Amino acid sequence: MTQTMQQEFVVYSKDGCPYCDKVVQLLQFAELKHVVYKLGQNFTKESFHDEYGVGATFPQVTYNDKRIGGCSDTIKFLREQKHLEV
C-alpha cells in the first residue's frame, strides 16, 4: 500500500462510495492535512485485503500510520480530538 510521511490522515477509498466522500469532506471542512488513495489507481483489492482483512469496508482511514477505521470511527476520532464539534 502506498505510504506518505507528509500527510497526517490517509484515506483508502473507492469510486462511488458515499462514506468515502463524507470522510474526505469532513477532513477538508476541518482543514486537516490528508491524502486520498483510490482503489484501482493507488492500490489493489488484494493489497487492501492484505492490510485490513477480507471483510474490511471502505473507507479505511489512518492517522500518523495508525488505523482509525471506517467512516463512523473517523467521525468519532475527529470529535474526540476536537477537530469537529458535536
What digits encode the pLDDT tens for the residues 26-77?
999 999 999 999 999 999 999 999 999 999 999 999 999 999 999 999 999 9
For the stretch 12-38, pLDDT in tens is 999 999 999 999 999 999 999 999 999
CA distance 8 to 6: 7
For 55, the domain range is 9-80
Which residues are registered as beta bridge partners of 36?
Answer: 11
pTM: 0.88
Whether residue 86 lies inside any domain: the answer is no
Q: Is 21 left (phi over 0), alpha (psi -120 to 50) or beta?
A: alpha
Structural domain count, the chain? 1
CA distances from 11 to 49, 68 (A): 15, 10
Whether residue 2 lies inside any domain: the answer is no
What CATH code is carried by the domain that includes residue 67? Answer: 3.40.30.10
Whether residue 3 lies inside any domain: the answer is no
CA distance 84 to 4: 24
Whether residue 24 lies inside any domain: the answer is yes
Percent of the chain at pLDDT exceeding 90:
84
pLDDT at 10: 97
Residue 43, Cβ neighbours under 10 Å: how many? 17
**Distance of alpha carbon 58 from the chain centroid:** 8
Whether residue 41 lies inside any domain: the answer is yes
